[in-house]
Amino acid sequence: MTTLYFLDAAEFTDVSAVAAAQPGARVERLPGYVAVTADGPLIVDRRATGVRHSVWYSALAAVGHGRVVQYDKDALKVEPTP
């Protein structure tokens, strides 16, 4: 089970929303953060978020039980770790 944490700030709202829109993803609002959890890989399409590069590359605040296998101009992909 992998959890992506995004800072609960206006510039990251579209990123966390795209992450949360995946089938099977669950969203939880924590103090200061939006946490998106899934049993399988989590993939965020950068173009779907519509955010500028500076926001995109600073959007990921934390990763619980996952490994970032892609984080580039196309997508963020995080796979679960045992």
CB 25 within 8 A of CB 43: no
Query: Cβ 57 to another protein, closest distance in Å?
Result: 9
Query: Cβ 56 to another protein, closest distance in Å?
Result: 10
Positions that interact with another protein (CB under 8 A): 3, 5, 7-11, 30-33, 35, 52, 54-55, 58, 60-65, 67-68
Pull the structure tokens for residue 57.
């590359």
Query: Cβ 21 to another protein, closest distance in Å?
Result: 21
- Burial code (b: 16+ CB inside 10 Å, e: under 16) for 48-76 equals ebebeeeebeebbbebeebeeeebeeeeb
